[in-house]
Amino acid sequence: FSKRIKDDDHGDELGQLAKSFNILSSSLEKVEENRREFLANVSHELRTPLSYMKGYAEAMEEGVIEQKKGLEIIQKEANRLERLVNDLLDLAQLEGDSYPLQCEPIAFAQLVTDVVETFELIARQKNIQINSQLDEDSIIYGDGDRLEQVIRNLLDNAIRYTPEHKAISLTLTSKDEFSELVISDEGIGIPEEDISAVTERFYRVHKARTREKGGTGLGLAIVSQIMKKHGGTFELSSKVGQGTSARITLKNI
């Protein structure tokens, strides 16, 4: 798509047509560039855990590393691969039209409570306190599995990017037509210049640090797609060193 038609010396319909063609072709170029970049990212993300697994298997074979340690790392990397493939499949389904949401009325406070319960253990391990204030009147219309995934991804980040002995709060309010859930942490925060990009696939603020923390780089892209599909909203606000708030809204039933 690298051909441009000269469109500056026609003031007539032909000039207009040439202009439209050039706009179309530059947007196709962008799509193609995004696709290429995405493929390169996917390959890199898949290759990294695979190289670790191969490296450690070899080291074990040569007897230069203890078996227990080697197997532990291989298992950790296999889990990372599994998470990555699952997230990629989810995202592909969400971005296509072939996977409709399975919507039904949902008692939102109960759904949030169920997800929070599954995080209690890892929060306790990090001495992080989770405080919930949930309005029981909130009834929304949505896909329960997908909304659980949204809360799981947001809570997972909140815990992952928050140091020990800090707190996380979940506040659900239902007012007039909308329910609003805010998940706030007291973690490392996101710099202002990165905040609009973190919902892009594989965008990470601190690359090395996030890899060490086990994320796939797709969590927020998935959140953003699910909320879009629900006709809801998703916003992040953050202050470096103070913490991050994720806010989602959904229409009440």
List interacting residues with ligand ADP (CB under 6 A): 153, 157-158, 161, 185, 187-190, 198, 203-206, 210, 215-221, 244
Q: Which is nearer to ligand ADP, 105 or 214 (CB)?
A: 214
234: Cβ contacts below 8 Å, ≥ 6 apart: 150, 199, 223, 224, 227, 228, 246, 247, 248
CB-closest chain residue to ligand ADP: 215
Specify the pairing of strand 178-185 against strand 167-175.
antiparallel
Q: Which is nearer to ligand ADP, 126 or 206 (CB)?
A: 206
Q: Which is nearer to ligand ADP, 166 or 206 (CB)?
A: 206
Whole-number minimum distance, CB 244 to ligand ADP, in Å?
A: 4
Q: Which is nearer to ligand ADP, 70 or 243 (CB)?
A: 243
Q: Where do we find the tokens 């026609």?
A: 10
Q: Which is nearer to ligand ADP, 174 or 225 (CB)?
A: 225
Q: Which is nearer to ligand ADP, 111 or 190 (CB)?
A: 190
Whole-number minimum distance, CB 198 to ligand ADP, in Å?
A: 4
Whole-number minimum distance, CB 10 to ligand ADP, in Å?
A: 46
Name the residue among 80, 236, 233, 45 with its Cα closest to residue 158: 236
Whole-number minimum distance, CB 136 to ligand ADP, in Å?
A: 26
Cα-Cα-Cα-Cα dihedral sign, residues 174, 219, 78, 187: negative
Structure tokens at 29: 């170029």
Cβ contact 178:251 at 8 Å: yes
Whole-number minimum distance, CB 41 to ligand ADP, in Å?
A: 12
Q: How many CB atoms lie within 10 A of CB 32?
A: 11
Burial class of residue 154 (count of CB atoms within 10 Å of its CB; 0-12, 13-18, 19+): buried
Whole-number minimum distance, CB 152 to ligand ADP, in Å?
A: 11
The phi and psi torsions of 160 (rounded to 5 degrees) equal -65, -40
